[in-house]
Amino acid sequence: MPDYTLEHAHGGRVAGVDEVGRGPLAGPVVAAAVMFLSGVPGHLADTLDDSKKLRPKVRQQLYDTLHQTPDVLIGVGAASVAEIEQHNILRASWIAMQRAVGRLPQWPELVLVDGNAAPDFGCPAQCVVGGDAISLSIAAASVVAKVVRDRAMERLAQRWPAYGWGR
């Protein structure tokens, strides 16, 4: 289970960032940035985990709770299929991450990125391989990004049902 050790060690405003959509190569890549200004409330700390390990209903509940909890800042960014084709999937995921961080209401002092490489955010960044299973901020970003992208893919599935994008 992820914890708040990395964020606490920094002691300042730390944003966790994760993206979804690199693997399937269909639809946009979506990234989220989440920053807990006052630490992680116990009810969230006990439930947050890598979004891939959570049932859809639990992800949705966590998404709603994150958006309703004071002192939780959320930014979401995406890169379109056209941007993926123009830049490649890695660069497009970095664009989405930069957009997510840029949409946070306050600028972080440190960005924790799930993975082994990070784009330039204009502030220090630390890569954390398997970060969504290590850091609560990254796990929260994982949940937000997954719910947002799943919703986008469900809308695409309604337009083109033969592809099964809703699944």
Residue 109, pLDDT > 90, answer yes
Residue by residue, what is the 3-state secondary structure of the chain? CCECHHHHHHCCCEEEEEEECCCCCCCCEEEEEEEEECECCHHHHCCCCCHHHCCHHHHHHHHHHHHHCCCEEEEEEEECHHHHHHHCHHHHHHHHHHHHHHCCCCCCCEEEEECCCCCCCCCCEEEECCHHHCEHHHHHHHHHHHHHHHHHHHHHHHHCHHHCCCC
Stated pTM of the model: 0.94
> Which residues form the domain of 53?
5-163
CATH number of the domain to which 156 belongs = 3.30.420.10
pLDDT range class, residue 24, cuts 50, 70, 90: low
Domain tally, the chain: 1
pLDDT tens-digit map of 34-74: 999 998 998 899 999 999 999 999 999 999 999 999 999 99
